[in-house]
A and B are shown apart, each in its own frame.
Chain A
Amino acid sequence: MAESPLDVLLKGNSGRTTRGLLRIIILATIAAAAVSSRLFSVIRFESIIHEFDPWFNFRATKYLVSHGFESFWDWFDDRTWHPLGRVTGGTLYPGLMVTSGVIYHVLRFLTIPVDIRNICVLLAPGFSGLTALAMYFLTREMTTSPSAGLLAAAFMGIVPGYISRSVAGSYDNEAIAIFLLVFTFFLWIKAVKNGSIMWGSLAALFYGYMVSAWGGYVFITNLIPLHVFVLLCMGRYSSRIYISYTTWYALGTLASMQIPFVGFLPIRNSDHMSALGVFGLIQLVAFADFVRGFIPGKHFQRLLTTMIIVVFGIAFVGLVVLTVSGVIAPWSGRFYSLWDTGYAKIHIPIIASVSEHQPTAWPAFFFDLNFLIWLFPAGVYMCFRDLKDEHVFVIIYSVLASYFAGVMVRLMLTLTPIVCVAAALALSTILDTYVFAKNGPNPRAKANEDNSDGLRSTRKPNVGVTSYLSKAVMTSSVVIYLLLFVAHCTWVTSNAYSSPSVVLASRLPDGSQHIIDDYREAYYWLRQNTEHNAKIMSWWDYGYQIGGMADRPTLVDNNTWNNTHIATVGKAMSSREEVSYPILRQHDVDYVLVVFGGLLGYSGDDINKFLWMVRIAEGIWPDEVKERDFFTARGEYRVDDGATPTMRNSLMYKMSYYNFNSLFGPGQAVDRVRGSRLPAEGPQLNTLEEAFTSENWIIRIYKVKDLDNLGRDHNNAVAFDKGHKRKRATKRKGPRVLRTE
């Protein structure tokens, strides 16, 4: 891919149309490469929806396709969050589902019958091709160098940071959101450059689409006002900025309020207040600017001072009053965790428990961005060199996104586009400088044809790099870097990001691939063997999958909207059976599902997630569940003989290790994840009975027993069934309680 921009430039002398054609061909190739590199998972495994959230999106899409848009809009989902239910139509970002629904119906209209699943699986790769195009346009706005856009498109197409969320089957909001993000920014830049209502309106429309697709729209909501604000501070107010910003804000806010999930947030939530503030500010600035047209500076300053004092006084008082009276919602928790990385850990374990909300590890930057990460600062520097409005945008974007990406792994995704832009800027400058120094006048002449006033960088005389040796060294090293980059991307994509995580792959000793399909085995068991309305309790990670694959109601799922409900499940999992059983009964639970990796050494199992359950439950019931009780006196988290009684009596522990001993010889049972030998006597379950255990024991399903028919508690009932004689229970201390009717 790296050579393609060179091709265009090598034909620099040919006509405009030829280069245009070539550019189109190259872009098409880039898009094709972007799509095809995301198909590893389909080839390796099958056309299957990946991971967790996509399963919900898939299910929602199926609902949309089969019930129509109206009922999707009003969808009340009674098969999740039992018994609360979820107003799904009003609490999701419908952009993704509607997009694939539209594609589905268009294809049907064109008499191309395609399974909705395949559309969902292939939506992300398809949109990544579009993202590459959008990236091309965005970069084109930044520089005159024609190669930069193509380079950026190519980078965007294959950079692992983006592929991680957009491989085939990764049917998630981000799949289309990144395209919308980039395209909205492109339209915004266009609007700022042209000062045109139309571009502003288009930006607002795409912003509205983005709002309908991803919660990350808040990033745009804050970035664009910040851009405007910085421009104002730099004294760069102009009518163009006024026009584009006010148009964007007025229309974009209205558009975003059409989404039921967003609703009145844009004027209530503090996350959106900066946009409103800048909107007000720019009105004032515009008015001041307008008034200044009529009077000399001295008087104007007096007028201005009065105005500023009055307006800011009113605004400040108003803001304080509104915040105190609660009209404007306080900052949301996820937002706090963006600023203070320790915040979530202390206050909101449910947010901290999600792996993608963890702070990013440093190697991840290199892993996801490879050599772009060190071209990135160079590119930002290039933007400083000729500091036009759009370059200010790039700089602000880079600074903000770098920070956020460092805070949360997930936000690496928002950093990736700007890294591609900046790196492409830097690399194209290098290439332009070194490759074309000899026929330097050519691109510049062309640039001057196209532009009435070119960039300062192109107008500057090239520093004399004329030696063929240095050219060759630089060019070849760049080419080598690009080749390495491509190799790295391919390797990362195929090895790290193409696993569906529903199906696990492992290598047998002879090197052949072995598919571990326990998840689907268990989910299909549920689908085939349980009643259609049987309620399944599991940790929330598996809620979407159970809903999608097993089609059974769940208590909690990955849409973690109700912390208390999740804490209830956590409490049921981490308490003794006697405590858990009433909870299970109250919530009509029929089956409990746990994930256990001890036999196979699968580390993402529930025992490893157990502490989060405990913490979340402790957040609600600090007196009943205590994290400390799950650690030994020396502060270790153990599952073997040294495990604390609380740990050993917890429902989760019992369910995980129930009957595990029977697989091994006496005293030989070993948990391969924790690497510890288990107690000789396995746990005993009274209120649950084992219903199903998958081939590799990854999924274990237990049936909740009904109340005892004779009114005994389950301990006694089980003991009786095992033939233990019951001790006379009348030896109680204290006075005998007489029975009265």
Chain B
Amino acid sequence: MPSASSSAPAASSSSLSSGPKTLTQNSSIYDIAHTVWQQYLATTPQRTMLLDAFMGFLVLVGGVQFVYCVVGGNYPFNAFLSGFCAAVGQFVLTASLRMQTSSAATSSSSSSTGGAKGKGGKKVVKGDAGEEGSGISAERAFADYVFGSLILHFFCINFIN
């Protein structure tokens, strides 16, 4: 955990600078959360919001299933697993897509300062699979996303039979 607080990815720092600063030093947790929400509404592009809406939907679906499992028992366990895993898997895939698209958007807009940092920037892939450019374009990310999702759905449907 200490690690997470010590390193600040470049992508997020850029958005940080543009947000309004309305917090005092000693505001409550609620205030902080509220501010975060305000910040979020203010700074997130619409398209990313669409992603977030979808993620929220997935959390809802997953949460309902989990609660039902706890309350109503998990008799066809494979069905529960595949239903739940589908929600979770789709969520993380969507989260990945969100990261990729938003970072691609910011790197294209704010001239990719993070690329200079050794670990933050995408490295060139040499050799046989070298057709990729630095960073991943939104289209490419989306194609990957669809690919991953289709595999996920295939497994889930197979598993639920």
Cβ of A5 under 8 Å from chain B:
no
Q: Is A235 touching B3 in the complex (CB atoms < 8 A)?
A: yes
State how many angstroms separate the Cβ of A624 from the closest Cβ of chain B. 41
Q: Is A295 touching B23 in the complex (CB atoms < 8 A)?
A: yes
Query: Which of A44-52, A189-197, A338-346, A413-421 touches B?
Result: A189-197
Cβ of A555 under 8 Å from chain B:
no
B92 — nearest CB in chain A belongs to which residue?
A246
Contacts of B78 in A (CB 8 A): 257, 264
* Contact (A303, B152) CB under 8 Å given A243-B99, A246-B95, A294-B43: no
Cβ of A741 under 8 Å from chain B:
no
Query: Which of A29-37, A88-96, A123-131, A285-293 touches B?
Result: A285-293
Complex Cα spacing A244 to B81, Å: 22
Cβ of B77 under 8 Å from chain A:
yes
* Contact (A251, B155) CB under 8 Å given A140-B126, A296-B23, A388-B118: yes
Measured as residues with beta carbon below 8 angstroms from the partner, the interface class of chain A is 35 or more
Contacts of B136 in A (CB 8 A): 194-196
Cβ of A201 under 8 Å from chain B:
yes
* Contact (A308, B96) CB under 8 Å given A250-B89, A254-B156, A294-B35: no
State how many angstroms separate the Cβ of A305 from the closest Cβ of chain B. 9
Q: Is B32 touching A295 in the complex (CB atoms < 8 A)?
A: yes
Cβ of A598 under 8 Å from chain B:
no
Cβ of B123 under 8 Å from chain A:
yes
Cβ of B67 under 8 Å from chain A:
no
Q: Is B29 touching A302 in the complex (CB atoms < 8 A)?
A: yes
Contact with A along B122-148 (1 / 0, CB 8 A): 111111010010101000110111011
Contacts of A731 in B (CB 8 A): none
State how many angstroms separate the Cβ of B34 from the closest Cβ of chain A. 11
Cβ of A668 under 8 Å from chain B:
no
Q: Is A247 touching B93 in the complex (CB atoms < 8 A)?
A: yes
Contact with A along B20-40 (1 / 0, CB 8 A): 010101010100110110011
Complex interface residues of chain A between 193 and 219 (CB less than 8 A to chain B): 193-198, 200-201, 204-205
A199 — nearest CB in chain B belongs to which residue?
B144
State how many angstroms separate the Cβ of A187 from the closest Cβ of chain B. 11
* Contact (A308, B3) CB under 8 Å given A204-B151, A450-B124, A451-B124: no
Q: Is A235 touching B40 in the complex (CB atoms < 8 A)?
A: no
A243 — nearest CB in chain B belongs to which residue?
B96
Q: Is B35 touching A250 in the complex (CB atoms < 8 A)?
A: no
Contacts of A198 in B (CB 8 A): 143-144, 147-148
A268 — nearest CB in chain B belongs to which residue?
B77
Cβ of A528 under 8 Å from chain B:
no
Complex Cα spacing A197 to B141, Å: 7
B129 — nearest CB in chain A belongs to which residue?
A190
Q: Is B81 touching A289 in the complex (CB atoms < 8 A)?
A: no
State how many angstroms separate the Cβ of B22 from the closest Cβ of chain A. 10
B16 — nearest CB in chain A belongs to which residue?
A293
Cβ of B108 under 8 Å from chain A:
no
Contact with A along B87-107 (1 / 0, CB 8 A): 011001101110110010000
State how many angstroms separate the Cβ of A341 from the closest Cβ of chain B. 34
Complex Cα spacing A140 to B126, Å: 9
Q: Is A304 touching B16 in the complex (CB atoms < 8 A)?
A: no
Complex interface residues of chain A between 111 and 146 (CB less than 8 A to chain B): 140, 144
Which residue from A144, A194, A201, A289 sits with its C-beta under 8 Å from B148? A201
Q: Is B100 touching A195 in the complex (CB atoms < 8 A)?
A: yes
Which residue from A140, A235, A289 sits with its C-beta under 8 Å from B127? A140
Q: Is B12 touching A289 in the complex (CB atoms < 8 A)?
A: yes
A245 — nearest CB in chain B belongs to which residue?
B92
Q: Is A264 touching B27 in the complex (CB atoms < 8 A)?
A: no
Contact with A along B54-69 (1 / 0, CB 8 A): 0000000000000000
Q: Is A264 touching B99 in the complex (CB atoms < 8 A)?
A: no
Complex Cα spacing A306 to B29, Å: 9
* Contact (A295, B100) CB under 8 Å given A254-B159, A258-B158, A306-B29: no
Cβ of B6 under 8 Å from chain A:
yes
Complex Cα spacing A368 to B148, Å: 40
Q: Is A267 touching B81 in the complex (CB atoms < 8 A)?
A: yes
* Contact (A197, B148) CB under 8 Å given A239-B99, A247-B96: yes
Cβ of A255 under 8 Å from chain B:
yes
Which residue from B4, B126, B147 sits with its C-beta under 8 Å from A451? B126
Which residue from B1, B32, B97 sits with its C-beta under 8 Å from A197? B97
B121 — nearest CB in chain A belongs to which residue?
A453
Most chain-B CB neighbours within 10 Å: which of A205, A239, A253, A297? A239
Contacts of B29 in A (CB 8 A): 302-303, 306
Complex interface residues of chain A between 244 and 277 (CB less than 8 A to chain B): 246-247, 249-251, 253-255, 257-258, 264, 267
Q: Is B122 touching A194 in the complex (CB atoms < 8 A)?
A: yes
Which residue from B7, B39, B145 sits with its C-beta under 8 Å from A294? B39
Complex interface residues of chain A between 413 and 461 (CB less than 8 A to chain B): 450-453
A232 — nearest CB in chain B belongs to which residue?
B3
* Contact (A235, B4) CB under 8 Å given A246-B92, A303-B29: yes
Q: Is A239 touching B103 in the complex (CB atoms < 8 A)?
A: yes
Cβ of A466 under 8 Å from chain B:
no
B14 — nearest CB in chain A belongs to which residue?
A293
B126 — nearest CB in chain A belongs to which residue?
A450
* Contact (A452, B134) CB under 8 Å given A246-B92, A254-B159: yes
Complex Cα spacing A237 to B2, Å: 11
Contacts of A193 in B (CB 8 A): 122-123, 125
State how many angstroms separate the Cβ of A137 from the closest Cβ of chain B. 8
Cβ of A712 under 8 Å from chain B:
no
Q: Is B125 touching A194 in the complex (CB atoms < 8 A)?
A: yes
A312 — nearest CB in chain B belongs to which residue?
B1
Cβ of B71 under 8 Å from chain A:
no
B130 — nearest CB in chain A belongs to which residue?
A450
A303 — nearest CB in chain B belongs to which residue?
B32
Q: Is B3 touching A233 in the complex (CB atoms < 8 A)?
A: yes
Q: Is B5 touching A258 in the complex (CB atoms < 8 A)?
A: no
Q: Is B85 touching A253 in the complex (CB atoms < 8 A)?
A: yes
Q: Is A295 touching B120 in the complex (CB atoms < 8 A)?
A: no
Cβ of A301 under 8 Å from chain B:
yes
Q: Is B3 touching A201 in the complex (CB atoms < 8 A)?
A: no
* Contact (A250, B5) CB under 8 Å given A198-B147, A201-B151: no
Q: Which residues of A contact B (CB under 8 A)?
A: 140, 144, 190, 193-198, 200-201, 204-205, 232-240, 242-243, 246-247, 249-251, 253-255, 257-258, 264, 267, 283, 285-286, 288-304, 306, 308, 388-389, 450-453
Counting from the closest, the 9 A-B pairs by CB-CB distance are A235-B3, A294-B39, A293-B12, A246-B92, A250-B89, A197-B144, A239-B99, A243-B96, A254-B155
Q: List, sorted by A's number, 15 A–B pairs whose CB atoms are closer than 8 Å.
A: A197-B93, A197-B97, A198-B143, A232-B3, A236-B7, A239-B96, A239-B99, A246-B96, A247-B96, A254-B155, A258-B159, A286-B99, A299-B23, A299-B27, A450-B126
Q: Which residues of B contact A (CB under 8 A)?
A: 1-9, 11-13, 15-16, 19, 21, 23, 25, 27, 29, 32-33, 35-36, 39-40, 43, 77-78, 81-82, 85, 88-89, 92-93, 95-97, 99-100, 103, 118-127, 129, 132, 134, 136, 140-141, 143-145, 147-148, 151-152, 155-156, 158-159
